[in-house]
Amino acid sequence: MTAAVDELAVDGDRLLRRLDDLAAVGSTGDGGVSRLALTDDDRAGRDLVVEWMEDLDLEVSVDRIGNIVGSRSGLTDGPPVMTGSHVDTVATGGRYDGNLGVLAGLEVVETLVEAGVTTQRPLAVGVFTDEEGSRFSPDMLGSLVYVGGMTLAEGLDARSADGVRLGDELQRIGYAGVVPVPRTAPAAFVELHIEQGPVLETEGFTIGAVTGVQGISWQRVLLTGQANHAGTTPMHLRRDAGYVAAAIATGVRRIALERGGGTVATVGSLGLDPDLVNVVARRAELTIDLRHPDERELRLVEAAVAELVAEVAATEGVEVAIERLARFEPVVFDETIVDLVAGVAADRDLPVRRMVSGAGHDAQMLARVCPTGMIFVPSHDGISHNPVEHTDPDDLVAGADVLLHTLLILTDTRGPGRVADGR
Ligand code: GLV
Ligand code: MN
Ligand code: MN
C-alpha cells in the first residue's frame, strides 16, 4: 500500500479538461474569464465546482459567508487537512488564478478515489468567497471571515463601488449557507497557485515553495475640487481634482522607485467627474495599492504617500477623503510545510525555489489558524490578471502532483504524522 501511494500521480488530462470547462463559464472570448465575486457568472462557476464535488462524493457544506468546503472522510477523525483557493476572478481575469488551486484539489481527490486510497486524516477542498476584492473589499474576504479575522456582520455589509451589499448578493445567488463562521481550523492548509510573476520562469524553476506573502495596503482617495470652465479659469485659480489625482499617481510611482528594495505601488483605478474635455474636474477618485514583504518598510511607504497626497491636495485647494480598503501585514508560512513542499518537489526531480508571494492569497488568512504553505508554478512572461495569463500544461500538472504528495504526507497517508494539529 505504501509503495503504491508513493507512486500515485494525478491525471493531467482530466485536470486540464476541468480547467477548460470552468474557463468557459464567464469566458470573455479572448482566452480570459470574468467572474466577479457573487455575480451570476460566479454563481455558475460555483455550481459547476459543487457538481464536481458531489460527483466525487464529497460532503459539501456552505458557510454563512458563502465559502464552499467539500470534505472526504479519513481513516481517523479530527480536523481535515485542507487545500483549495478561489473561483472568483477580476473583471479581466485569466483562467488559472484561483481556479488551479480548487481544481487541483478535486484532481487530488479523484486520484485517491480511483486508486481506492482513503487518507488517514480527512481531506477537504475549500472555495473561498471574494478572494479578488475587485467587487467587494477587502480581498481574501471569505477566508478572512472563515478564520475569524473579520466578523460575519462586517463581511455581509461590505459594499461594492455601486453600493450593492455583499450579503444581499450572496442570498441572490443562493450561496448564503448555514454553517457558522468562523469555521473550525483545519489541521493544515496548502494552496497551489500560479506565481503571477516572472521569477520561476526567468530563473528556470518549475515549483515555488512559498515562504510567505508580502504586506498589502489598499486605499481609495476621494478628491473634491471645483468644476469650472477649462478656457476661462486661470491656472492659479483652479481647484482641479483631476490634476491632483494625476500628481498622486505619478508621485506614488516615484516613491516606489526611490525606496526600491521590492516596493511596488499601483494606481489601478482612476476616475474623473464630470470627465469632460472642457471642464476642470470637480471630483476624482483613485485607488492606491502598496506592497512590501517587510512591515516596517510598508509603513514608511504609506507615510510617504500620505504626505504626498496631503501636500499636493493642499497646494491645489482640493479636499481629500481616504477610505481604507484593505490592510494586511506580511505573512510568514509554516517552516515545516515550506520544507515539505520543497522536499516533495526535489523528490520528483522538479527544480524548486523558495520565494515570497507578491500576490495576496487565501492561504495567508488560513495561516492565522493552522500550519500553512503554498506551491507556485510558473506564469508565462509573468503575466496575470490578464486574459493572456498562461502556464505550461506540464507545469500545471507538476504542481498538482506536488500538491498530491504534500497532502498525502500531511494526512499521514505516506508515513507518520509530520505536522501537529492546527494551532
Ligand atoms: C489579490 O489577489 C491580489 O493580490 O491583488
Ligand atoms: Mn488568486
Ligand atoms: Mn487574482
Is 363 touching ligand 1 by the criterion CB < 6 Å?
no
Cα dihedral sign, 99-102-107-108: positive
Is 139 touching ligand 1 by the criterion CB < 6 Å?
yes
Q: To 10 degrees, what angle do helices 12-23 and 40-55 make? A: 150
Ligand 1: residue whose CA is nearest its atom 1: 360
Q: Which of 129, 357, 361, 376 to mutate to test the pocket of ligand 1 (most atoms within 8 A of CB)?
A: 361
Cell numbers that stand for 248 in this block: 498622486
Q: Is 350 left (phi over 0), alpha (psi -120 to 50) or beta?
A: beta
pLDDT truncated to tens, each residue of the chain (423 aa)? 455 899 999 999 999 999 999 999 999 999 999 999 999 999 999 999 999 999 999 999 999 999 999 999 999 999 999 999 999 999 999 999 999 999 999 999 999 999 999 999 999 999 999 999 999 999 999 999 999 999 999 999 999 988 999 999 999 999 999 999 999 999 999 999 999 999 999 999 999 999 999 999 999 999 999 999 999 999 999 999 999 999 999 999 999 999 998 999 999 999 999 999 999 999 999 999 999 999 999 999 999 999 999 999 999 999 999 999 999 999 999 999 999 999 999 999 999 999 999 999 999 999 999 999 999 999 999 999 999 999 999 999 999 999 999 999 999 998 654 443 433
Q: How far is the CA of 86 from the centre of ligand 2 (A)?
A: 7
Q: Which of 129, 136, 137, 139 to mutate to test the pocket of ligand 1 (most atoms within 8 A of CB)?
A: 139
Give the position of cell 500560479: 194
Q: How far is the CA of 98 from the centre of ligand 2 (A)?
A: 4
CA separation for the pair 156, 145 (Å, rounded): 10
- Give the closest ligand to the alpha carbon of residue 33: 3
pLDDT of residue 422: 36
pLDDT of residue 399: 99
337-359 per-residue burial string, b: 16 or more CB within 10 A, e: under 16? bbebbbbbbeeeebebbebbbbb
Q: How far is CA 212 from CA 90, 294, 337, 354, 374, in A?
A: 23, 11, 11, 10, 8
Is 130 touching ligand 1 by the criterion CB < 6 Å?
no
Neighbours of 296 (CB within 10 A): 9
Q: How far is CA 383 from CA 127, 176, 193, 256, 389, in A?
A: 23, 33, 14, 20, 5
CA separation for the pair 389, 373 (Å, rounded): 23
- Whole-model pTM: value is 0.94
Cell numbers that stand for 267 in this block: 494606481
Q: Which residues pair with 63 in a beta bridge?
A: 179
Ligand 1 atom closest to 97 (CA): 2
Q: How far is the CA of 404 from the centre of ligand 2 (A)?
A: 19
Ligand 1 atom closest to 216 (CA): 4
Q: How far is the CA of 36 from the centre of ligand 1 (A)?
A: 13
Is 325 touching ligand 1 by the criterion CB < 6 Å?
no
Neighbours of 331 (CB within 10 A): 24
CA separation for the pair 294, 343 (Å, rounded): 27
Cell numbers that stand for 313 in this block: 491636495
Neighbours of 242 (CB within 10 A): 22
Q: How far is CA 314 from CA 56, 125, 223, 421, in A?
A: 60, 51, 11, 54
Q: Confirm if 25 and 88 have CB atoms less than 8 A apart.
A: no
Cell numbers that stand for 408 in this block: 498525502
Is 359 touching ligand 1 by the criterion CB < 6 Å?
yes
Cell numbers that stand for 9 in this block: 500521480
Q: How far is the CA of 289 from the centre of ligand 1 (A)?
A: 10
Taking each continuous run of H as one helix and of E as one strand, the counts in the chain are 13, 16
In a 10 Å sphere around its CB, with 0-12 CB exposed, 13-18 middle and 19+ buried, how is residue 402 labelled?
buried
- Which residues keep their CB under 5 angstroms from ion ligand 2? 97-98
Q: Which of 87, 96, 132 to mutate to test the pocket of ligand 1 (most atoms within 8 A of CB)?
A: 132
Q: How far is the CA of 98 from the centre of ligand 3 (A)?
A: 7
Q: How far is the CA of 141 from the centre of ligand 2 (A)?
A: 12
CA separation for the pair 170, 52 (Å, rounded): 21
Beta strands in 205-248 (DSSP E): 207-213, 215-224, 228-229
